Amino acid sequence: MIALVDYGAGNLTSVRKALAAIDAAVFTPDRPGALEAARAVIVPGVGHFAATRPLDEGWRAAMHAGLAAGRPLLGICVGLQWFFDGSAEEPGLPGLGLFPGVCTRLGTGTPPALKVPHVGWNSLTLPRASRLFDGVANDAQVYFTHSYAAPVVTDTVAICEYGVPFSAAVERGLVSAVQFHPEKSGDVGLRVLKNWVQGLTDQRTTAGAR
């Protein structure tokens, strides 16, 4: 089963419904140690970066240990931001540090300030092939709601532009994350989730063949 982490800030109901629609079984762990029973872990999130504070050293250690043991991670929205070093939204509160860089506020540069938060449908640019976006067209539309965004990095596999380009998705090894909400992005969002779940099977098959 897939562990859907509840730290008080995620849209768990919608994520559960989307995963049920693709026949993926989930449970909500009540402590970090419960992640050991999971085949993979999802860290969702909405709202302020400060909401990640309950993901303390116990959860951090469990997620790092899970990665070392071959357990994939998926972040959604604030979950993606938490996978970076941190966010200017809550200086001093570290992220998990799986990707380099700090998330910054949208709409503060040039061209003139845009309405923030960035809410609604926007298109993706896919700079290279990735597991998450297999079968997804370049310029596909997905649903966003956020005020801060992660920089474009080496591991960025989808870019969106709202005043400035930002990481709409990142992927490296066992770690994947999306800034948009796949559970609210219709068929494209379900395809992304299906691709991630299918990747769990592929990774298990590959590991078993070694």
Residues with catalytic function: 77, 181, 183
- Nearest residue to 52 (alpha-carbon basis) of 101, 90, 104: 90
- What angle in degrees, to the nearest 10, is found between the helix axes of 186-208 and 12-21? 70
Q: How far apart are CA 146 and CA 162, in angstroms?
A: 11
The whole-angstrom distance between residue 137's C-alpha and the CA centroid of its chain comes to 19
Q: What angle do CA 120, 128, 98 make, to 5 degrees?
A: 75
User: Which residue stretches of 23-166 are H helix?
Assistant: 57-68, 78-82
Residue in the block written with tokens 């419904």: 17
Q: Is the dihedral of CA 108, 175, 25, 61 positive or negative?
A: negative
Instruction: Record the tokens describing residue 37, joined without a space.
Output: 């029973």
The whole-angstrom distance between residue 91's C-alpha and the CA centroid of its chain comes to 20
SS3 breakdown of the chain: % helix, strand, coil, rounded to 5?
A: 30, 25, 45
Residue 173, by phi and psi: left (phi above 0), alpha (psi -120 to 50) or beta? left
